[in-house]
């Protein structure tokens, strides 16, 4: 399904390049009574700016609009846990999340939700950030995939739709913040 510049995937529909990244980096095991999807976002900002926001496991509120506060236990290495307070308007108040993987060279961040006051059980996500050229300037291809249990009383479609809506909101905000930073950075066009 394509909405604006987001592409969500439960079947086919990505560019060859995005498909290759998904096959290489977004390997999530989907069990019975779980749903999974991948979303793609093109951002008109260089990869170093976008990654500088995504990699900050301790500061998701820099671009995630539903996060009001974050406190991290640990040294921001794999295994660190963050307690996130969620702004009102969502069916949640807190989320406890563990950093599963962080690779600054390949630009990969993976996390799982291990507790909190919400219905997202056994939630795991992977975010990868890749350089690309957009309108002759350095840009970024962001891919976020997830897997989560389908709560009692919900269908797979309803669950995926809800999680995709949250991720789309986060990716739009990530694009807005990154693109503002890129304007301040005044990145020059790529000469061919």
**Rounded (10°) angle between helices 156-185 and 47-54:** 130
Does residue 11 surpass a pLDDT of 60? no
Reported as a single tens digit per residue, the pLDDT across 104-159 is 999 999 999 999 988 889 999 999 999 999 999 999 999 999 999 999 999 999 99
Q: How many residues does the structure list for the chain?
A: 192
Q: What pLDDT, on the 0 to 100 scale, is given for residue 191?
A: 54
Does position 9 have pLDDT exceeding 50, yes or no? Answer: no
> Residues near 125 by Cβ (< 8 Å), separated by ≥ 6?
110, 111, 112, 144, 145, 146, 147
Tell me the mean pLDDT in the region 32-53.
95
* Mean pLDDT to the nearest integer, 11-38: 83
Residue 5 has pLDDT above 50, yes or no: no
What pLDDT score does 7 carry? 45
Domains and CATH numbers, the chain: 16-186 (3.30.530.20)
Q: Which candidate, 118, 50, 34, places its Cα nearest to that of 84?
A: 118
Q: What is the mean pLDDT of residues 42-50?
A: 96
Top-confidence residue, 41 or 9 = 41
């Amino acid at each position: 399904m394509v909405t604006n510049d987001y592409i969500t995937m439960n079947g086919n529909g990505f560019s060859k390049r995005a498909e290759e990244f998904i096959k290489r980096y977004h390997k999530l095991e989907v069990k019975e009574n779980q749903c999974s999807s991948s979303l793609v976002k093109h951002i008109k900002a260089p990869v170093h700016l976008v990654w500088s926001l995504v990699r900050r496991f301790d500061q998701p509120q820099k671009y995630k609009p539903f996060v009001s506060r974050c406190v991290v236990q640990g040294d921001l290495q794999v295994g660190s846990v963050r307690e996130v307070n969620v702004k009102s308007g969502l069916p949640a108040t807190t989320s406890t999340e563990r950093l599963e993987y962080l690779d600054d060279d390949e630009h990969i961040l993976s996390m799982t939700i291990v507790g909190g006051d919400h219905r997202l059980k056994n939630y795991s996500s992977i975010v990868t950030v890749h350089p690309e050229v957009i309108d002759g300037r350095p840009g970024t291809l962001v891919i976020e995939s997830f897997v989560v249990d389908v709560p009692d009383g919900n269908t797979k479609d309803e669950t995926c739709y809800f999680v995709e809506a949250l991720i789309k909101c986060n990716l739009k905000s990530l694009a807005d913040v990154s693109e503002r930073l890129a304007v301040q950075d005044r990145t020059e066009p790529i000469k061919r």
